[in-house]
Amino acid sequence: MSRLLDKLTVKDFVLRNRIVLPPMATELGSGKGEVTEGLIQHYIRRSRGPGLAIVEHSYVSTGGRRSENQLGVYDDSLIPGLSSLAEAMKKQGSVAAVQINHAGSKSSSDVIGAQPVAPSPVPPPRGGDVPRELSVSEIEEIVEQFVAAASRVVRAGFDAVEVHGAHGFLLNQFTSPLTNKRTDRYGGSLENRVRFPLDIVRRVRDELGEKVLLLFRLGADDKMEGGLTLIEGVRIAEMLESAGVDILDISGGHCGSAPDWLKGPGFFLHLSEAVKSAVSVPVIGVGGVTTSEFADLSIRQGKADLVAVGRAFLKDPDWALKTIKDLSS
């Protein structure tokens, strides 16, 4: 039986415990997506304690930008700022990752100055612009944008890259039957809907080699009528493992990461538990975890191998340090 404060070794990396700072957008980037001093200070404080700290979703291309002050990884000129961030976080003892993302239809013409793109011309289920359908060559181009972004993260000195495939952003728009109405090889069957995320994972793995940790945040259940189901989510997790993912970060909810109808401690831990029973790579669970006791219990009960604590950690930057103290006494 594992416990929250047990170490976890993944490849050459030793995570000092099973606490994860999950990616959470701060809007502390500059207008061009550069790292700012405020952003560095935010992450220094929250890298004290957790085994793994994941920097918020960062846009792989200007067409995939979600918001004005989002962090960016779309150009080599951003690497020096990212290097300062990596160095500052790793000094605190966390394994450090950056989540890379393309917002697809969840962008807006106000932010990107053009019509957002998506698998099909279907607006996001909770409203937004009608997007433009991507051509096959554009899909292949976005695969390469993810590869280039991942390479920048690693060149900046981070230990790990997380590909964002949850919360209704572009990759989730492909996996979900609600937003993917394509009739070509990227739409229809589950194998077709997952082709684009799998192409990204395989190409990133090829490019970065085996030394770097590759994480994937999977929306394992859309939690919407007609959307991706957990049965399909588990199947996708198995395919991601075969494609070379080292750690599966399991979330859900097509429309948002923590919608107000999802409440209570551990609201997505049934998803990580289901995935954990089907794969052999470590699995991160998340959702409404706020106390050290509950986080430890979740690990002991085998709901996940690692527990991510979002809003509680945002509110209290010392959450992990306090938890370590609590559980050590």
Ligand X SMILES: Cc1cc2nc3c(=O)[nH]c(=O)nc-3n(C[C@H](O)[C@H](O)[C@H](O)COP(=O)(O)O)c2cc1C
Q: Using CA atoms in the order 180, 182, 184, 186, what is the torsion angle rounded to 10 degrees?
A: -10
268 in the Ramachandran plot: left (φ > 0), alpha (ψ -120 to 50) or beta? alpha
Binding ligand X (rule: CB under 6 A), the pick from 289, 295, 299, 324 is: 289
Binding ligand X (rule: CB under 6 A), the pick from 167, 205, 254, 303 is: 167
Please say which residue, 117 or 284, places its beta carbon nearer to ligand X. 284
Helix ranges (DSSP H) in the chain: 37-46, 79-91, 109-112, 136-155, 170-175, 190-193, 195-208, 230-243, 269-276, 292-300, 311-315, 319-328
Binding ligand X (rule: CB under 6 A), the pick from 47, 61, 94, 99 is: 99
Binding mask 297-316 for ligand X (x = CB under 6 A): ------------xxx-----
Which tokens is 270 given? Answer: 């049934």
Count how many residues are written for the chain.
329
Helix ranges (DSSP H) in 244-317: 269-276, 292-300, 311-315
Q: Which of residues 39-68 bind ligand X (CB under 6 A)?
A: 56-57
* Stretch of residues binding ligand X (CB under 6 A), selected from 75-83, 137-145, 152-160, 161-169: 161-169
Reduced 3-state DSSP string for 168-194: CCHHHHHHCCCCCCCCCCCCCCHHHHC
CB of 162 to ligand X, least distance (A): 8
Query: How many other C-beta atoms are found inside a 10 Å radius of the C-beta of residue 226?
Result: 11
Position 292 contacts ligand X (CB under 6 A): no
Q: Using CA atoms in the order 113, 129, 26, 306, what is the torsion angle rounded to 10 degrees?
A: -130
CB of 46 to ligand X, least distance (A): 12
Binding ligand X (rule: CB under 6 A), the pick from 286, 299, 304, 320 is: 286
* Stretch of residues binding ligand X (CB under 6 A), selected from 181-189, 223-231, 235-243, 282-290: 282-290
Q: Which of residues 105-144 bind ligand X (CB under 6 A)?
A: none
Lookup result for tokens 């010392």? 318
Rounded CA separation 25/300 (Å) = 30
CB of 287 to ligand X, least distance (A): 5
Binding ligand X (rule: CB under 6 A), the pick from 42, 195, 217, 254 is: 217
Which tokens is 312 given? Answer: 């509680």
Taking CB atoms, the residue at the shortest distance from ligand X is 310
Position 24 contacts ligand X (CB under 6 A): yes
Position 173 contacts ligand X (CB under 6 A): no
Please say which residue, 18 or 164, places its beta carbon nearer to ligand X. 164
Enumerate binding residues for ligand X (CB under 6 A).
Answer: 22-25, 56-57, 99, 164, 166-167, 217, 251, 257-258, 286-289, 309-311
